[in-house]
Amino acid sequence: MEAAFAEMPLALFSTLAPMGAGAFVILAAAFLTAKLDAEALGRIDRLTAIPVAFVIVGFIAAFFHLASPANAFGVFAGLGSSPLSNEIAAGVVFCVVMVVYWAWALTGKMPEGVRKGLAVVLAVLALVFALFTGMAYMIDTIASWNTLAGPVQILGYALVGGAALGVLVLALAGCADELKAGSLKTAVLAVLVVGLVCGIGGLAAQAMAANGLENALYSGADMVSSALMVIVAGVVCLVASGVCDVFAVRGGGASAVVGMGVGAAVLAVAGILLMRLAFYAMQVSVGLSMLL
Amino acid sequence: MIDTNVSRRTFLKTGGALGALAVAGGGAVAADSLFGSGVADAVAAPEEKVTWGHCAINCPGRCALKMHVKDDEIAWVDTHTSPDATFDTPQARACLRGRTYRRWANSPDRISYPMKRVEGTKRGEGKYERISWDEAIDLAASKLKEVIEKHGNEAVYVPYATGVSATTSRPFNRFLNLVGGYLNFYNSYSTAQISCITPYMYGSKNNGGSSLSSGEDAKLILCFGSSPTETRQGGLTTHYDWVHMRERTGAKIYMIEPRFNDSNFGHSEEWLPINPGTDAALVAALGHELIKNGQTDEEFLHTYCVGYDEETMPEAYQGKNMSYKDYIMGTGYDKVEKTPEWAAPITGIPAERIRALADEIATTKPVYVVQGWGPQRRSNGEWTAWAIMALPCLIGQVGLPGTSNGTREARNSPSLSSLPAGTNPVKASIPCFLFTDAIDHGPEMTAKNAGVKNADALKTGIKYMINYAGNCLTNQHSDINKAHEILADESKCEFILGIDTVMCDSMNYSDVVLPDLFRFENDSQIATGSDWGYIITGTPATSPKFERKSAYEMAAMLADKFGVKDQFTEGKTEQEWIRELYDKSREKDAKLPPYEEMQEMGVYTREYPHIVSMQKFREDPAANALTTPSGKIEIFSEKLLKDTEGWELQDGDTLKGMDTLPPLPVYIPEWEGVETTTEEHPLVLSGFHYRGRIHSSWGFIPELKEVNPMEAWINPADAEPRGIKHGDTVHVTNDRGTIELYAKVTPRVVPGTVAVSQGAWWDGDVHAGKDGVDKGGSINTLTTQRPSPLSKGNPQHTNICEVKKA
Amino acid sequence: MTHYAFHFDGTRCTGCKTCEMACKDYKDLGLGVAYRKVYEVTLGETKKADDGTFASTCVSYPLSLACNHCENPACVKVCPTGAMHQDADTGLVSVDADKCIGCGYCHMACPYNAPKVDREKGHSVKCDGCKERVAAGEKPVCVEACPARALDFGPVDAMSKLGEQADIAPLPAKSYTSPNLYVKPSKDAKPAGDASAKVVNPLEVM
């Protein structure tokens, strides 16, 4: 398990960026279902800085993982063949649309239709980005990673983490009542449930796959057992984050809702980060590769 | 220690650029270049030159080093090789260590200036300050004069040291012989026991084994305690010879060893695991089966040997049940019949396996029996080596093609003359292993209690030592903590002059340290070989850096202080000596090419036919009698009894109930061995040679240490009850100290035995004594200074210990 | 177009690591980086019975391994920048340091533990088959260094006559990358993909 901590920058990236991206799913849902006045929209737009920051900090973390960040502009050379190029491309497309959307929204002059349309596009791009991030680890020489459980996990983290961030943004923007309203609440809960199922189910599936693998250096079962406590802690945090979200959408005093939102976000970061570290710890190559 | 290399890089860069400019031409050109494009060219494209050199460490490998040199700096180390070489092409390829010479030569730890021990510090603390050459030589010479005046030349000693070998690598002995001489030593740390016993059995001449290549003609090869690929890793020696022979021979091979060594790799069917120190018991049991089944070669034994049975006993010992057969069949000595059932629990080899092996030995011909030097480096080593040599005699497998005489394999080498040492006026000689005793209580050492030769007793203790390229003061000696106590006491040995390239642990006991050059930084020549013979002729790869000098120059400077410089040098430089010595060698060996050609080719190789040990003796034992008293092979040695008459023995030196040393190859349980473990120290501890070092040389090179970690090999059966897992840090402890290293939990070592490679650099607190922890993992922290009974040699593989998780 | 391959003769290799250290010297590699490594595989038991006698099923063998310059290199496939590339003429796989971002993907993907990110140098590093030596008619420095003559290097056609393609544990099945390594295994050796054949010296090779 210790070796996985060396992958902290990548764990941070794959925690923060999908979370930030996933928040736009909730925002899109809010724009589509809730009646928000201009002031509320303005507050939401300013607070959108939070998911934007998550995405950017995530990318910065990934950047620091590189030994020669200066050459980073070359990463698109492998587009189509290198899963990493594909991931970065998906991330960059998402970021570009995100920045365009956010800058436009901050002007306060974004037509409602455009907002809704762009938010939906962003939500879809976020999920695509999450899937590509997960697919980046599907390498046929790393048997324990070469499974759809990888992208499913990241998709789940984007949804659960995105729900937490989205709820936090809306709560801070004073939209507790809107959150409580039927259709947004349903949407948030739906996102949450799908996310938890994908995230936890994906990691569990991956752990089970790794458990049966073995190579000349170590057995997957040993790696899974050494990561087990981290997995359990991560799952507990993730579920707790969901519970906070549930409390948040059930309503209450504004500060209580904000508190729940903050709790959900913090627990989501902790839970996803732990689960990501566990993922790195369960790398079972078909041959002689290991972390470090 | 002072940092002697602060400005090394800067200095070299400057030196290189200026050097290149100087090469570019005369003053006008250089001046022009300073302002023109010439500077860039001169600096950017230094010419690469290639020089030959040789490894000079104590391994017969003598690897060929082909130095690629840029800017007066070694860029990389190539060797004697070519892309078109086949499996049969003889090339003296350097081993892994030879390929790291650049790292040693350029090490930040390299000694660059003369130094003296900082006043107020103790020997062993390793604190030194830079001094001038004048001061260093003055100090060393004046102390030497003082000691000679006060105690006589017998108080001067040149300890056993093997860090440098070449035709001119012993200048200090030559110098000392010009000023009255020094106390001699005999034996070596490599072969004390076997070198001592072989002449008793086979005589002192023509007693060597067959070449490994002769194994090609064998049908069965029994290899006792040998790892030819690890002990002589590089060059054109036994690593290559072993691999080559194994592929060419049709023989079945047994490696009889407590450790599945690296020579066994990939050939596990060859491993016959045995308890360490019990080979003589195995041979006795094999002998028992051969005798019982009438499978001994009686004709050979009766024609060529003495002491096998009553009939062949020396007259004075007949009728006393003192033959080897009496020992084996239980009619003499301990009266125990040496059945396979007797040997099984001692050796760890099941009785039925011993029977099967005896039958295989008896029914297969030719049988090639060979031993390494591990079995003999033990408290019972003289008898263990002897027993292994007796085995081929029992079946008459000596002196015929495809056989050997049970000693180590033969080595071929062209013969080169060395710098004449002169004649030593001091005749007394001590076993090299007892030098700490000679420092501590020299005058108590006698011929009968300490193997003093050419004198009944020593007149004085050792008071002055010149330790040239040696790490045997502590690290490669035994009981390092005890050695420290003796050496640190300046009232005993009054002065130690150390000469080396880096500060190994023994150097830390020097009062003055002088910075040596490598042989590849000098002209140098050396001859060696195994199945093939070869000579390497080297020229300096780089100029001498800083204030380093050759040992020859140093000895000449000392000689100058005594007014004997002219006698020492005879007006010749070292280069001129090498040349002259070579020309002398050529007079005796007309096939050798002229020196210039030797320099040009770097490596000169020579093919030899397969050597068959003692072939002439086998053909005609009367005309080619051995140099033993009987002229025959002595399985029983009357001479041994006479030589050791009146010797003071210690408990465990001989068989129970005997008051002499055994005159035949019996099994004596080791003092600290499989039969003598204790509750406190229930495991046997045995050393071995490791690919990462040759003895302690290279023991400080980080790149080698990284991929050759210090490990205690321990069987899972011993590790599990102690909660030790593979890779854990463990402490190996006995009464003499504690070492720290990793556990290698492996089925490659027999249960009950822990194997630790020898030569790691001691790394502990000099003030802690035996309660301290040697984090370097040097096995000699745990070995004893008690010598083996007959040769007075180092029994460094005879130890017991306990292992615990650190 | 001649693609090159290594040959490893497991019946000769004694695990001495001369290949590894010769390479490190020639390529001037410091601590923590080696382009060729020697793996020890050990299986079985050596037991002592109640009567004090031994029975051993121990088998042990070394494998010297560098980059196999695979026909279908996993490292090249995953490289996002094209820094990791295969020479069309020689098949030798090497790193273009000017393009490499040091993401470590090649290291993760390679099942032969060949590439590694050297953070000091700022890019991925690995065996390049000593391409300049090969171009000059020499063999890689490791091959010419071997005291036991257990390594060889040459055109795939010639090397493939000397052994089976990478069929030795601890290596994975050749199907993943089609490695240009042809092995003559010792009697002790286990076939590729045999998970019972563990690398017992991780400290020395990872």
Range of the domain at B765: 683-805
Please give the radius of gyration of chain B, using alpha carbons only, rounded to the nearest integer: 27
| Amino acid A253: pLDDT | 86
Distance from chain centroid for Cα B329: 37
CATH at residue B735: 2.40.40.20
Secondary structure (3-state) at B775: coil
Q: Closest chain A residue to C192 measured between Cα atoms? A: A287
Kindly list the residues of chain A whose beta carbon comes within 8 Å of any beta carbon in chain C: 65-69, 71-72, 74-78, 81-85, 88, 139-142, 214-217, 283, 285-292
Instruction: State whether residue B684 sits within 8 Å of chain C by CB.
Output: no
Do C26 and C139 contact (CB within 8 A), yes or no?
Answer: no
- Do B259 and B296 belong to one domain? yes
Q: Is residue B125 in a domain?
A: no
pLDDT digits (tens, 9 = 90+) for B385-406: 999 999 999 999 999 999 999 9
- Do B335 and B422 belong to one domain? no
CATH at residue B479: 3.40.50.740
pLDDT at position B307 over 90 = yes
Q: Is residue B46 in a domain?
A: no
* Strand partners of residue C64: C38
Residues 6+ apart with CB under 8 A from B28: none
Domain ranges of chain A: 2-281
Q: Is residue B455 in a domain?
A: yes
pLDDT at position B11 over 80 = no
Q: Which two tokens stand for residue B294?
A: 């009438």
Confidence of residue A252 (pLDDT cuts 50, 70, 90): confident
Nearest to C20 among B78, B707, B742 (CB): B707
Do C76 and C85 contact (CB within 8 A), yes or no?
Answer: yes
| Amino acid B749: pLDDT | 98
- Do B392 and B420 belong to one domain? no
Do B235 and B265 contact (CB within 8 A), yes or no?
Answer: no
Angle (deg, nearest 10), helices A8-33 and A254-281: 140
Q: Closest chain A residue to C37 measured between Cα atoms? A: A288
- Do B172 and B249 belong to one domain? no
Which chains lie within 8 Å of chain A at 3 or more CB pairs, if any? C
| Amino acid B27: pLDDT | 33
pLDDT digits (tens, 9 = 90+) for A88-136: 999 999 999 999 999 999 999 999 999 999 999 999 999 999 999 999 9
Confidence of residue B9 (pLDDT cuts 50, 70, 90): very low
Confidence of residue B87 (pLDDT cuts 50, 70, 90): very high
- Do B322 and B352 belong to one domain? yes
Confidence of residue A291 (pLDDT cuts 50, 70, 90): low
State the average pLDDT over residues B565-591: 97
Confidence of residue A182 (pLDDT cuts 50, 70, 90): confident
Instruction: State whether residue B83 sits within 8 Å of chain C by CB.
Output: yes
| Amino acid B12: pLDDT | 36
Q: Is residue B111 in a domain?
A: no
**Burial class, B149, CB count within 10 angstroms (exposed 0-12 / middle 13-18 / buried 19+):** exposed
| Amino acid B6: pLDDT | 35
- Separation of alpha carbons C27 and C10, rounded Å: 25
pLDDT digits (tens, 9 = 90+) for B672-725: 999 999 999 999 999 999 999 999 999 999 999 999 999 999 999 999 999 999
Query: Longest Cα pair distance anywhere in chain C, in angstroms?
Result: 66
Residues 6+ apart with CB under 8 A from B35: none
Interface pTM, i.e. ipTM? 0.97
pLDDT digits (tens, 9 = 90+) for B470-503: 999 999 999 999 999 999 999 999 999 999 999 9
pLDDT at position B120 over 90 = yes
pLDDT at position B58 over 90 = no
- Do B625 and B701 belong to one domain? no
Q: What is the CATH number of domain A2-281?
A: 1.20.1630
Q: Closest chain C residue to B103 measured between Cα atoms? A: C25
Mean pLDDT over each residue of chain B, to the nearest integer: 94
Q: Is residue B539 in a domain?
A: no
pLDDT at position B32 over 70 = no
| Amino acid B46: pLDDT | 65
- Separation of alpha carbons B541 and B164, rounded Å: 17
**Burial class, B88, CB count within 10 angstroms (exposed 0-12 / middle 13-18 / buried 19+):** exposed
Residues 6+ apart with CB under 8 A from B342: B281, B285, B336
**Burial class, B364, CB count within 10 angstroms (exposed 0-12 / middle 13-18 / buried 19+):** middle
DSSP letter for each residue of B525-577: EEEEESSSEEEEEE--SSPPPTT-B-HHHHHHHHHHHTT-HHHHHTT--HHHH
| Amino acid B242: pLDDT | 98
Instruction: State whether residue C198 sits within 8 Å of chain B by CB.
Output: no
CB contact under 8 A, C54 and B243: no
pLDDT digits (tens, 9 = 90+) for B159-178: 999 999 999 999 999 999 99
CB contact under 8 A, C42 and B747: yes
Beta-carbon neighbour count of residue B635 at 10 Å? 27
* Strand partners of residue B68: B50, B76
Give whole-number Cα distances, C81 to A67, A224, C109, C124, in Å: 13, 33, 15, 12
| Amino acid A3: pLDDT | 78
The number of distinct structural domains making up chain B is: 3
pLDDT digits (tens, 9 = 90+) for B368-382: 999 999 999 999 999
Q: Which two tokens stand for residue B776?
A: 């370097």
Beta-carbon neighbour count of residue B376 at 10 Å? 34
- Do B739 and B785 belong to one domain? yes
Nearest to C188 among B266, B351, B703 (CB): B266
Task: Please report, in tens digits, the pLDDT of each residue of chain C (206 residues total).
Answer: 899 999 999 999 999 999 999 999 999 999 999 999 999 999 999 999 999 999 999 999 999 999 999 999 999 999 999 999 999 999 999 999 999 999 999 999 999 999 999 999 999 999 999 999 999 999 999 999 999 999 999 999 999 999 999 999 999 999 999 999 999 999 999 999 898 899 999 999 97
Closest CA to B60 of B228, B174, B194, B209: B228
CB contact under 8 A, A288 and C102: no
- Do B513 and B395 belong to one domain? no
- Do B494 and B449 belong to one domain? yes
Q: Closest chain B residue to C149 measured between Cα atoms? A: B87
CB contact under 8 A, A289 and C118: no
Q: Rounded to a whole number, what is the distance in Å from the CA of B625 to chain C's nearest CA?
A: 39
* Strand partners of residue B633: B305
Do B143 and B448 contact (CB within 8 A), yes or no?
Answer: no
pLDDT digits (tens, 9 = 90+) for A124-154: 999 999 999 999 999 999 999 999 999 999 9
pLDDT at position B4 over 60 = no
State the average pLDDT over residues B578-590: 97
Give whole-number Cα distances, B661 to B83, B785, C106, C182, in Å: 56, 20, 67, 57
- Do B716 and B570 belong to one domain? no
Q: Worst-scoring range by mean pLDDT, A189-193, B57-61, B241-245, B627-631?
A: B57-61
Percent of the residues in chain B that have a pLDDT greater than 90, as a whole number: 93
Write down the number of H helices and E strands in chain B. 26, 27
Q: Is the dihedral of CA B393, B396, B397, B400 positive or negative?
A: positive
| Amino acid C197: pLDDT | 94
The domains located in chain C, with CATH, are: 4-71+87-93+127-205 (3.30.70.20)
Report the alpha-carbon angle B74-B76-B77, nearest 5. 100
Q: Is residue B44 in a domain?
A: no
Interface of B with C in 259-288 (CB under 8 A): 260, 262-269, 271, 273-274
Interface of C with B in 113-142 (CB under 8 A): 137-139, 141
pLDDT digits (tens, 9 = 90+) for B414-472: 999 999 999 999 999 999 999 999 999 999 999 999 999 999 999 999 999 999 999 99
Mutant choice from A82, A211, A283 vs C, greatest count of C C-beta within 10 A: A82
Q: Which two tokens stand for residue A194?
A: 């799908």
Strands B533-538 and B524-529: antiparallel
* Strand partners of residue B223: B255, B370
- Do B398 and B470 belong to one domain? no
b/e burial code for range B207-242 (CB count within 10 A of at least 16 → b): bbbbbbbbbbbbbbbbbbbbbbbbbbbbbbbbbbbb
Q: What's the number of CA atoms in the CB half-sphere (13 Å) around residue B684? A: 27
Q: Which two tokens stand for residue B580?
A: 């002259």
Instruction: State whether residue B348 sits within 8 Å of chain C by CB.
Output: yes
pLDDT at position B246 over 80 = yes
CB contact under 8 A, C74 and A288: no
- Do B277 and B340 belong to one domain? yes
Give whole-number Cα distances, B134 to B138, B174, B559, B566, in Å: 6, 21, 13, 19
| Amino acid B5: pLDDT | 39
Which chain C residues are within 8 Å of B82, Cβ to Cβ?
144
CB contact under 8 A, C80 and A68: no
- Separation of alpha carbons A36 and A110, rounded Å: 14
| Amino acid B774: pLDDT | 98
pLDDT digits (tens, 9 = 90+) for C1-42: 899 999 999 999 999 999 999 999 999 999 999 999 999 999
